[in-house]
Amino acid sequence: MTTHTIVQDPAKARAYFEAKMAFTTGPVELEHMMKSGEVNVVDVRAADDFAAGHIPGAINLPRERWHTLDGLQKDRRNVLYCYSQVCHLAATAAVEFSTKGYPVMELEGGWRWWKEDGFPTAT
């Protein structure tokens, strides 16, 4: 059996990763942005899950309340997070909120990575 390696186009790779960095962030970067007041953190998980634990300072805007846009800010990036890396709730919210003119980013790994990496939590 022969394994073939596909050589990717460096220009396409650059475009992909530039876009990825513009619209996603990780827990370490988010913590720095939070300390400098650069971002508005938005938890799009269900209200009960938010109450059980969330990123300190985050607002809760579950799916059934997205139409209200409560707590979103147009003058700062709204960093959205949901349950985990495989949850697409934050990405879905990002589409919805950006359509309304709100600057958005997604926290990679969501609540799971934030919590498992030992970052501060609130209840």
Which residues are identified as catalytic? 82
Alpha helices of the chain — where are they, by DSSP H? 10-23, 27-35, 47-52, 89-99, 110-116
Q: In a 3-state reduction of DSSP, which class is residue 35?
A: helix
3-state secondary structure of 19: helix
What's the rounded Cα separation, in Å, for the pair 75 and 67? 19
